[in-house]
Structure 1
Amino acid sequence: MKDSSFIRGAVPMTKEEIRSVSLAKLQLRSAQNFLDVGTGTGSIAIEAAYTYPQLEVTTLDSNPDALELLKQNQAKFELSNVKGILAKAPVVLDQQFDAIFIGGSGGNLTDILEWSFRLLTDKGRLVLNFILLENALAAIQWLEEQEYFFQAVQLQVGQYTKLGKGHYYKPQNPVIIIETGKGE
């Protein structure tokens, strides 16, 4: 989905190219339950729910503005398989998930990682996005200590843009994507 398809506000949004790679790494084709932590605009949750109508999508965000944008985008795309929860992870949830996406940790990264692995099904997938190197390194260190298999990539995207009489690629923030899960 194009970024321009989404209703935007003052909350963060996972951009199109990063979203595409993150969703691919989540492997949602046969998933039934998906959790989006730190949903922001809801772009990950909305695209997942739209692409996989069988998928039940749960989102968490501690910002009421984020959940309002999620609701607006859910209505725009006429999706009934998305539910938003106003909360800061980790919270008690009474189900397990085939895939979890973490777009923000709010400073509780270790607690969120432990909580996420408890919520994952036996072959569940976990994908995390970071713009801060320190947070990505903290996640990598925790995964190594727990002896979980993972892969980490950094993506740098630039948009072709006119500048005076010439053109250049206007850079977006580089994003580190970590892919892990159970059963690896």
Structure 2
Amino acid sequence: MSENPWLTIVGLGEDGPEGLSPASCKALEDAEVIMGAERHLSLLPDLSAELITWPVPFADGIPLLLQHRGRKTVALASGDPFWHGAGTSLTKHLDRGEWLTLPAPSTMSLAAAALGWPLESTTTLGLHAAPFARLRPHLAKGQRAIVTLRDGEAAPTLASWLTAIGFGASTLHVLEALGGPRQRIREARAHSFDIKGIQHPVCVAIDVCGGPALTSVGGKDDSFFDNDGQITKRPVRALTLSALAPLPGEHLWDIGGGSGSIAIEWLLAHPTTQATSVEVDPTRAQRIAQNAAGLGADRLSVVTGAAPDALEDLPAPDAVFIGGGISEEMLRTVWDKLPESARLVANAVTLEAEVLLANWHANKGGDLLRIELAQSKPLGRKRGWKSSYPIVQWSVQK
């Protein structure tokens, strides 16, 4: 690692250089170039460095910053640049020896300290450039979350969104300009939010109340997924996800996406999982994307097309689920594309598909499971069992 990196990323609080570490103050004094948002630059005292306002959108500033490689440069960020901040967006373009970070207390830390909330058990999300639905999997009665917002006008919009999905009873703590002379904290219920004149920078801390909440295990209620009947029903979905066994960072191919329920629950299993849903019907493909966005899984990639042709340019999977359109050609193509140690799970309803899976199980091994479910239904003035079509599930690791 270089002892003299050309770029220093300085975390700045609302009181500007006041309260910064000696190292951060020296980096500002020695800098030839300082880049930052207009608000950050306005907090600085008179310095000899060239001041450059960071453009909007943020990504447009990266090439501008890199033009100063070799000069003593400071990039200003809010609080801790690597806690829902700009740090990673900058350093992914640099070698490790080119940069040094000098963080200040993060917005999340300041908010937790102001409210007396334990940060280790509080959900923290950066929603200043992300949809509110990213919060959806974390909403459950009694839980707490701290989220950053793009500006003051986003706070009432967040309140309206929470109310629309059933969490209007939640208490919102609006925290403005934390750590500086303009600091202000106000609160209101989401369903009666009436706070005016909210100033940037702002974050909102949420005491969650209401529902319905998303369960934390596989097999969420079918009502969460808009569908036209093409959906892997909750009990079978739970068994399928158990067989798929999602792990952090893994990528799923969901072939024959239907409503997207399998891929979406795969993504909800861990924030680093990835998934691609392949669906031949354009209307269903659009519905899959909408379901994913509404449940906080907007990172789902939806491919409209027929497998196996639609699989050609996809990133390699760690697991594959085939929920529809099983054929000999489909299985052969998927198996050839499946990396070593990757997992395949296929569900069959028809006798023809069942025979196909039985043959592949005999050839490749794995587990063959027959799922037979029945639900109680009215039978005259009493009740009886109504059976669903049995499902045969083949799961195997290559």
Give the TM-score of the pair, scaled to structure 1: 0.88
Moved more, 112-121 or 70-79: 112-121
Please report how far the alpha carbon of residue 97 of structure 1 lies from its aligned counterpart in structure 2 after TM superposition.
Answer: 0.6
1:73-131 residue CA offsets vs partner (Å, 9 max, x unmatched): 1121021321110111112124211100000126xx12211221222221111000010
> Quick one: which of 39, 44, 48 aligns to 2:262?
44
Contact 1:117 1:181 in 2 (8 A): no
Q: Percent identity?
A: 26
CA apart distance, 1:45: 1.0
Instruction: Name the one with the larger strand percent.
Output: 1
Letter in 1 for 2:226: I
Summarize the alignment of residues 26-175 of structure 1 with structure 2, pairs less than 5 Å apart: 26-30=244-248, 32-91=250-309, 92-105=312-325, 109-144=327-362, 147-175=363-391
Distance, in Å, in 1 between the alignment partners of 2:357 and 2:313 is 22
Contact 2:250-2:272 within 8 A present in 1 as well: yes
2:396 aligned to which of 169, 175, 180: 180
Partner-residue secondary structure (3-state), 1:17: helix
CA offset at residue 133 of structure 1? Answer: 1.7
Q: Which residue of the partner structure matches residue 98 of structure 2?
A: none
- Do the aligned partners of 2:347 and 2:393 also contact (CA within 8 Å) in 1? yes
CA distance in 2 between partners of 1:48 and 1:2 (Å): 15
Give 1:90's aligned amino acid.
P
Offset, 1:5: 1.7
Check whether the contact 1:148–1:181 (CA below 8 A) recurs between aligned residues.
Answer: no
Give the equivalent residue in structure 2 for 1:13.
231
CA contact (8 A) 1:55 1:81 kept: no
* Distance (whole Å) between structure 2 residues aligned to residue 90 and residue 134 of structure 1: 19
Q: Distance in 2 between matches of 1:151 and 1:103?
A: 17
Letter in 2 for 1:70: I
CA deviations over 1:129-180 (Å, ceiling 9, x no partner): 0100211212322443xx3112211111122223332112222221111111
Gaps of 5+ in 2: 1-219
Report the AA paired with residue 392 of structure 2. I
Give every structure 1 segment of 4 or more consecutive aligned residues whose post-TM-superposition deviation is greater than 4 Å. none
- Structure 2: how far apart are the matches of 1:103 and 1:122? 22
Cα deviations across residues 41-75 of structure 1 (Å, max 9, x unaligned)? 11111111112321110011111121121012112
Structure with greater Cα Rg:
2
Aligned-partner Cα distance in 1 for 2:346–2:397: 11
TM-score normalized by the length of structure 2: 0.42
Deviations 1:7-54 (A, max 9, x none): 1225x1111111111110111124511000001111111111112321
- Counterpart AA for 1:3: D
Equivalent position of 2:3 in the other structure: none
Aligned length: 177
For 1:52 and 1:143, the matched residues in 2 are separated by 30
How many angstroms apart in 1 are the aligned matches of 2:280 and 2:307?
Answer: 8
Cα RMSD of the aligned pairs, angstroms, is 1.7
Alpha-carbon distance between aligned partners in 2 of 1:172 and 1:68, rounded to the nearest angstrom: 28
**Distance in 1 between residues matched to 2:314 and 2:257, nearest whole Å:** 19
- Between 1 and 2, higher relative CO (CA 8 Å, sep ≥ 6) is seen in 1
- Deviation larger for 92-101 or 32-41: 92-101
Secondary structure in 2 matching 1:54: coil
